Amino acid sequence: MVRDGHMGVSNYALSEGKMKRLWILFWVICSYFVFLGSVTADERVRVNRVYDGDTIVLEDGRKVRYLGINSPEFQEPFYLKAKRFNESLVLGKEIRLEFDQERGDAYNRILAYVYVGDQMVNARLVKEGLAHVFLIGPSRKHSALLLQAQAEAKQNRVGIWSARARPKDLKITNVHLAEKDKPDPNAPYVRIANLSNGPVRMTGYILSNESGQKYVFPEVRIDPGYTIIVSSAAGKDGIDDRGQRVVCWPAQSSAWDPREDTAFLTDPSGEIVDSFHYKGKRISASSPRSKEKAP
């Protein structure tokens, strides 16, 4: 009887221990989902100003950069049309911000998918040919939707896909010079986006500057909508912590003239497929203004 009594106490203690561990596990899971909800919860705000085709300013002064897309730069075809269309969709209206894995960038801007009612503005701009898909880092929740919208725009030959804009498959979106107040391990660097409907193998493509310094791409591929960074860091080619594809050109650290230069991208046959001119701090050669963009 005594042994049975001890057995009963032992079983009770064991079940009590199990219950305690279950409660701890339950508390951890609940805490995780509360935290996750605070990170991913949508936010409703009102738009005070439209900066351009993919950036807006809220009533409280915060800037929002549309996730997954890139609109034409100042002085590029359809820049003004993209800005005005964006204004028609969001200016003065209450919008809903949907977040992905990254909520902010190095320019202190919020990164979000923007909705007016049930309409995603990011996708609408792409569908109208007023922006192209621009996938950087781990925020890729709506990549399939955006790529489908881009395919429709290209098929309809609207906006940047029309003959007027001289549509291309590869685009140099930025020559990012080193900045003392914003250190970046890759800077200076060049970012190239794949605007085509399929993957592009970069083997044999050449990136060069006005003085003739050049970098020949190795066996590397860019998937549609994604980008590649040509970094000046001395390291191995591969994928960085943000999920970005990076190739290294250490000599680039002294290649770009800080006053003015042009980046050229040529295919293996020697044909120039794109160029990017900058003056000063990434300012268009024909413009006294700069356009704040994501790197």
Judge whether 184 and 178 are in contact, CB under 8 Å: yes
- Element at 127 (helix H, strand E): helix 121-127
Q: pLDDT tens across 213-261, in order?
A: 999 999 999 999 999 999 999 989 999 988 899 999 999 999 999 999 9
What residue ranges define each of the domains in the chain, with the CATH number in brackets? 43-164 (2.40.50.90), 169-279 (2.60.40.1260)
> Residue 138 gets which letter from DSSP?
T
Strands 63-66 and 55-58, by their bridges, are: antiparallel
Catalytic residue of the set 46, 109, 140, 221? 109
**How far, in Å, CA of 232 to CA of 221, rounded?**
19
Report, as an integer, the average pLDDT of 18-43.
Answer: 50
Closest among 294, 290, 271, 293 to 281, alpha carbons compared: 290
Catalytic residue of the set 46, 73, 124, 292? 73
Active site residue 3: no
pLDDT at residue 29 is higher than 70: no
Active site residue 152: no
Catalytic residue of the set 21, 46, 49, 65? 65
pLDDT at residue 124 is higher than 90: yes
**How far, in Å, CA of 221 to CA of 139, rounded?**
20
Q: Where are the beta strands (DSSP E) in 169-259?
A: 170-176, 189-194, 200-201, 206-208, 214-216, 221-222, 227-231, 238-239, 245-248
178 versus 193: the higher-pLDDT residue is: 193
Judge whether 137 and 242 are in contact, CB under 8 Å: yes
Q: pLDDT tens across 69-121, in order?
A: 999 998 899 999 999 999 999 999 999 999 999 999 988 999 999 999 999 99
**How far, in Å, CA of 3 to CA of 37, rounded?**
51
Active site residue 219: no
Which residue bears the tokens 């800037």?
63
Report pTM: 0.80
